[in-house]
Structure 1
Amino acid sequence: MAGNSQRRGATSKGKKGPGVGSGGKGRRALEGKGPTPKAVDRPYHPAAKAARQAAHKAATTNGRPGGRPPVRRKSTGETEWIAGRNSIVEALRAELPVTGIYVASRLETDDRVREILKIAGDRGIPLLEASRQDLDRFTDGAVHQGVAATVPPYDYQHPMDLLEAAADSGRPALVVALDGVTDPRNLGAVVRSVAAFGGHGVVVPERRAAGMTASAWKTSAGAAARVPVARAANLNRAIEEYQKAGLFVVGLDADGDVDLPDLQLADGPLVVVVGAEGAGLSRLVREKCDQVVSIPMAGAVESLNAGVAAGIALYEVARHR
């Protein structure tokens, strides 16, 4: 009979000793609530919260509501170093945002050093003492003459901005584009020649090309403070834009169609394209040139470096003008 604790199976043994059974009244409770739900199915479990966040992110484009792409911030790069007394004097005269000047201990002063120290004092630019070994390391081995300065990364212009500078000058545009020139010293030499012969700027490609590093600043002897340098994402496209704006494009190459003294396009707005030493102009750039000219040379010299070739070409253009 029910409740008979003497029948077989009516008692259970546990840690607390024998106990009387329920007689079947707790069968439902003993059956439980089924299998344990997965972690992602439990509302307050961390895995469930992570799953909801992932689902919300997938419902938007690029993780932003409304399908707007994420904002891409341009990298500001690292601090640039200017080495050499002339370069720093020119940079200070042009009011570049110099953030610090490092001077070697027991430095022999001259007029340039005195001008650097005076301008630094007037503008509140920090003056710091450094060993020559530190200056060698800071400037990557450049000839610093015991003085180096720090500036923010070079602010490259857009290629079409150079035409605005030409319009303001009242003279026909004169721009130099470098095709595959990877030595920053060549870039600095070209910038210096552009400044000397009244050019309006230099264009360099973004990839596989020299940039305005400390070496370029040094070689330019400070001319980079006066001559803008533009960066083109695609040099061929930049050349096309210049042509649409009415500029003639002249390429320098050893196998030119005419010699440089016979150039007939120098009087008008002009882009002079200079290739790398040895390799010369790339095929696509050469095809886009309105005329390809060569520099006549005597002897067995096969080619000139980009800085020298650009200087000769710019002198000839200035002579024609």
Structure 2
Amino acid sequence: MPGDDAAPDDGSEVGVGPWPGGPASWPDDPRYDPVLLAEGDRRNVLDRYRYWTVEAIVADLDTRRNPVHVAIENLRHDLNIGSVVRTANAVNVAGVHVVGRRRWNRRGAMVTDRYLHVHHHPDAAHLAGWAAERHLPLIGLDTGPDAVPLETYDLPRACVLVIGQEGPGLSEELRSACEAVLAITQFGSTRSINAGAAAAVGLHAWVRRHVFHQRPSP
């Protein structure tokens, strides 16, 4: 429904109230939702999208999606998938891919999945076939002896960043399908970081490389 994006925990309101002036002053634009115009828009969206329908927002985002995808294994109903999806929305990725179980815990996504294209793949082979047809390399994020540092790897512009299950990491099937496996450099005592955090670090590395990267002067 138009207004069920999560509200702040402190009870304060976000967004805007009903469109000032009543129906007579409503914009003559199909992107606007009559319900939101009448009742207000309290969703967690950018100001430019206030009162827009979900479909209109998605259509606008589709005009400038980044060519990076995110895939995450869902073998044990991973609670981190929602967090990964929310980060993927922030980067406006081309797609999110859930590998394994079709149903996933959407709570952490804070309904941001509505503004993304979410795909399901029953297993690693299906994801690998889908990516191969589109010439998209699978790039895993995980630890292990075969992993190379994320910080030194030249991430492709068009690719699929693959996140493993919280705890065990990438399955052997998905790991073997990856062109490379990248490890996030750590200096503490834990073996790995949270899957949601790993996705955020990996996507930010992609943004730094392909959005803000400045080539050195000759």
TM-score by length of 1: 0.46
- Cα distance in 2 for residues equivalent to 1:210 and 1:306: 18
- Cα distance in 1 for residues equivalent to 2:140 and 2:74: 13
Q: 2:207 matched to 1:318?
A: yes
- Cα distance in 2 for residues equivalent to 1:298 and 1:277: 20
| Secondary structure, aligned partner of 1:85 | coil
The equivalent of 1:17 in structure 2 is none
Q: 2:74 matched to 1:190?
A: no
| Secondary structure, aligned partner of 1:279 | coil
Per-residue deviation, 1:184 = 5.4
| Secondary structure, aligned partner of 2:186 | coil
Residue pair 1:192, 1:224 contacting (<8 A) in 2 also: yes
Cα distance change, pair 109–276 in 1 and its aligned pair in 2 (3 A): closer
My pick for the range that moved more, 180-189 or 191-200, is: 180-189
Cα distance change, pair 241–300 in 1 and its aligned pair in 2 (3 A): same
Trace 1:242-257 onto structure 2 (pairs within 5 A): 242-255=131-144, 256-257=146-147
Q: 2:153 aligns with which of 257, 260, 263?
A: 263
Q: Deviations over 1:65-119 (max 9, x none)?
A: xxxxxxxxxxxxxxxxx67326xxxxxxxxxxxxxxxxxxxxx974348749x94
- Cα distance in 1 for residues equivalent to 2:133 and 2:77: 30
- Cα distance in 2 for residues equivalent to 1:170 and 1:243: 23
Per-residue deviation, 1:239 = 1.8
Q: Deviations over 1:49-77 (max 9, x none)?
A: xxxxxxxxxxxxxxxxxxxxxxxxxxxxx
- Cα distance in 2 for residues equivalent to 1:308 and 1:109: 27
The equivalent of 1:10 in structure 2 is none
The equivalent of 1:60 in structure 2 is none
The equivalent of 1:276 in structure 2 is 165
Trace 1:94-113 onto structure 2 (pairs within 5 A): 110-112=12-14
| Secondary structure, aligned partner of 2:69 | strand
- Cα distance in 2 for residues equivalent to 1:288 and 1:171: 25
Cα distance change, pair 297–242 in 1 and its aligned pair in 2 (3 A): same
Per-residue deviation, 1:263 = 1.7
**CA RMSD for the aligned pairs?**
3.3
- Cα distance in 2 for residues equivalent to 1:109 and 1:172: 34
Q: Which runs of 5 or more structure 1 residues have no equivalent in the other structure?
A: 1-81, 87-107, 124-164
Cα distance change, pair 236–300 in 1 and its aligned pair in 2 (3 A): same
The equivalent of 1:180 in structure 2 is 74
- Cα distance in 1 for residues equivalent to 2:35 and 2:78: 28
- Cα distance in 1 for residues equivalent to 2:90 and 2:75: 20
Residue pair 2:163, 2:199 contacting (<8 A) in 1 also: yes
Cα distance change, pair 257–221 in 1 and its aligned pair in 2 (3 A): same
| Secondary structure, aligned partner of 2:139 | strand
| Structure number with larger C-alpha Rg | 1
| Secondary structure, aligned partner of 1:320 | helix
Per-residue deviation, 1:232 = 1.4
- Cα distance in 1 for residues equivalent to 2:118 and 2:163: 15
Residue pair 1:248, 1:265 contacting (<8 A) in 2 also: no
Q: Deviations over 1:163-196 (max 9, x none)?
A: xx99x54665211111235455411111111111
Q: 2:132 matched to 1:228?
A: no
Residue pair 1:190, 1:310 contacting (<8 A) in 2 also: yes
Q: Which runs of 4+ in 1 moved over 6 A?
A: none
Per-residue deviation, 1:289 = 0.4
TM-score by length of 2: 0.66
Cα distance change, pair 115–169 in 1 and its aligned pair in 2 (3 A): same
- Cα distance in 1 for residues equivalent to 2:155 and 2:5: 38
Cα distance change, pair 113–249 in 1 and its aligned pair in 2 (3 A): closer
| Secondary structure, aligned partner of 1:201 | strand
- Cα distance in 2 for residues equivalent to 1:109 and 1:195: 24
Residue pair 1:191, 1:201 contacting (<8 A) in 2 also: no
Percent pairwise identity: 25
Per-residue deviation, 1:223 = 1.8
